[in-house]
Amino acid sequence: MVRTYKRKTLAPSYSKEDLNTAMESVKSGGLTIYRAAKLYKIPKATLFKHVKGSRGVKSQTLGRPTALPFHEEKKIADCLKLMEKRGYGLSKKEILETIGRYVNENKIPTPFRGGVPGDDFFIRFKRTHNLSLKKPQSVEVIMSGEVSERMKETVSKNVK
């Protein structure tokens, strides 16, 4: 995928509800394909393909499907966030190798070359899951933050 890609086509000007309503009216015999296409502002070819069954609903979103299912990506992103919270900030290379190892161990079919995702995957993954690259911190700094939170909780309980 090219990072500077600009979409050349617009999203459909009709909704899925309009398409379903038009399909039902054609199938029930109330309207012809031509009339339904004009009434609901759907291209005739699109309506024809859906009515005849040669084209179904492929995806809820526009564009190509992601390399990994969303639930798998979310699981990986949550683990990375937890590692970052515990002081293990990973570099881009380490994150990509970790994802590659996870994919290979779980035998998930992907288009990754050599079993390791590339730069474009990383950019989208980071943007989708709201991740940022962090530098590893010393454990003392992290623990001092946790200790201060525990102290605040203890003090607030004792004050009440």
In a domain, 7, yes or no: no
In a domain, 95, yes or no: yes
Instruction: Domain of residue 118: give its range.
Output: 70-151
* Predicted confidence (pLDDT) per residue in 113-136, tens digit: 888 899 989 998 998 888 887 665
Nearest CA to 68 out of 26, 44, 37, 99 is that of 99
Mean pLDDT of all residues in 51-78: 76
| Same domain, yes or no: 46 and 101 | no
> How many domains are contained in the chain?
2
In a domain, 32, yes or no: yes
Contact (CB, 8 A) for 64 and 114: no
| Same domain, yes or no: 91 and 134 | yes
* Predicted confidence (pLDDT) per residue in 6-43, tens digit: 777 777 888 888 988 999 999 998 899 999 999 999 99
Cβ neighbours of residue 156 under 8 Å, at least 6 residues apart?
none
